């Protein structure tokens, strides 16, 4: 197996002209230098170095190989220098969790502002709010965008610091050509309709749909379960069922319309959460940037 140390040894032999000078340059013993050269020659099946009492010189094949790996060593040196420079500049890695519907609107501009103010490397993980909040508590994420129901803070936890960002009303959507489109109806009138429901049974919209249906005296009939909003919109636009989603998540590319339900449908709260006892400076800075905006639409 090739080893970058073998390349460095070959390069040092070429420059120094002897195994002892190569060993001194690399701060290795001569037997260690010999070991690396032997391993490299065995792997390539060719003699790379002529060794004698007056020193060591590269063979024609050794010189050709050394020239080719110079680029590898140069790129390694450059990569190492970049890491050193970034570390000295205070660069850190910030791991952020998000869900797609809000994250796609909120995070890009906020993270651009953070990167402009702080040397930071970003890692973004998409997932469901309950899972993301758990990863923040476990230290797997530095912060996350999450949501739950207004008046039902399922994700509040003593190990999390929560910063409210927005409140998004929930709405029922139907196909734009449906007789329910833009009509005022009692929620009980939707009892016979099939629903596109979330796979996350602890999710805000799913829990609210079950509550609303129970209050209206029925159990929602399931067409399918998916958390892919493109699929949700496609199925609704195709007149296959209804969905309860955030009004801010309605995708104008699809022919869907809101159903005007007479009962309050509730709302979901968008929040930014960090560990209560160990927030990082970068995550706090991102929270400050987000705090300057009271609505997702302002970013």
In a shared domain, residues 187 and 272: no
Helix axis angle, 19-26 to 4-16, nearest 10°: 120
Would you say 136 and 97 are in contact if contact means Cβ atoms under 8 Å apart?
A: yes
- Kindly list the distances between the CA atom of residue 246 and the CA atoms of 249, 250, 272, in Å, as whole numbers in the listed order: 5, 7, 17
Report the CATH number at residue 54. 1.10.10.10
Count of Cβ atoms closer than 10 Å to residue 111 Cβ: 18
In a shared domain, residues 123 and 151: yes
| Greatest CA separation for the chain | 98
In a shared domain, residues 275 and 162: yes
- SS3 of 243-281: EEEEHHHCCCCCCEEEEEECCCCCEEEEEEEEECCCCCH
Cα dihedral 248, 295, 96, 234, rounded to 10, equals: 10
Q: In which residue ranges of the chain is pLDDT below 50?
A: 89, 296-299
Report the CATH number at residue 171. 3.40.190.10
Distance CA 221, CA 170 (A): 19
Task: Provide the domain count of the chain.
Answer: 3
In a shared domain, residues 127 and 149: yes
Predicted local confidence at residue 298, as pLDDT: 46
Predicted local confidence at residue 91, as pLDDT: 52
Predicted local confidence at residue 87, as pLDDT: 55
Predicted local confidence at residue 231, as pLDDT: 96
In a shared domain, residues 202 and 226: yes
pTM for the model stands at: 0.64
Last residue of a domain, one of 88, 103, 135: 88
202-222 per-position pLDDT tens digit: 888 899 999 999 999 999 999
Predicted local confidence at residue 146, as pLDDT: 92
In a shared domain, residues 184 and 228: yes
Distance CA 77, CA 190 (A): 66
In a shared domain, residues 261 and 284: no
143-191 per-position pLDDT tens digit: 999 988 887 777 788 999 999 998 899 999 999 989 999 789 999 999 9
Decide the pairing of beta strands 49-52 and 55-58: antiparallel
């Amino acid at each position: 197996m090739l080893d970058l140390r073998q390349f460095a040894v070959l390069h040092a032999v070429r420059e120094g002209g002897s195994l002892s000078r190569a060993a001194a340059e690399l701060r290795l013993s001569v037997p260690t230098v010999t070991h690396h050269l032997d391993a490299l020659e065995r792997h390539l099946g060719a003699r790379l170095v002529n060794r004698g009492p007056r020193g060591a010189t590269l063979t024609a094949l050794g010189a050709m190989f050394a020239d080719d790996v110079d680029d590898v060593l140069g790129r390694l040196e450059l990569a190492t220098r970049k890491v050193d420079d970034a570390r000295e500049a205070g660069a850190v890695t910030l791991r952020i969790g998000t869900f797609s519907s809000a994250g796609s609107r909120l995070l890009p501009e906020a993270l651009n502002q953070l990167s402009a103010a702080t040397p930071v490397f970003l890692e973004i993980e998409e997932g469901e709010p309950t899972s993301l909040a758990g990863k923040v508590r476990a230290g797997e994420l530095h912060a996350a965008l999450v949501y739950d129901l207004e008046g039902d803070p399922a994700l509040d936890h003593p190990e999390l610091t929560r910063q409210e960002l927005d409140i998004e009303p929930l709405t029922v959507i139907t196909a734009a050509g449906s007789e329910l489109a833009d009509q005022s109806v009692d929620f009980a009138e939707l009892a016979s309709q099939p629903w596109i429901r979330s796979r996350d049974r602890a999710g805000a919209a799913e829990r609210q749909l079950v509550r609303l249906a129970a209050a209206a005296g029925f159990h929602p009939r399931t067409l399918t379960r998916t958390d892919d909003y493109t699929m949700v919109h496609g199925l609704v636009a195709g007149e296959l069922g209804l969905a309860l989603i955030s009004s801010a998540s309605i995708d104008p590319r699809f022919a869907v319309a809101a159903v005007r339900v007479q009962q309050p449908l509730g709302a979901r709260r968008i929040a930014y959460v960090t560990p209560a006892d160990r927030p990082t400076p970068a995550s706090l800075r991102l929270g400050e940037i987000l705090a300057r905006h009271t609505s997702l639409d302002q970013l």
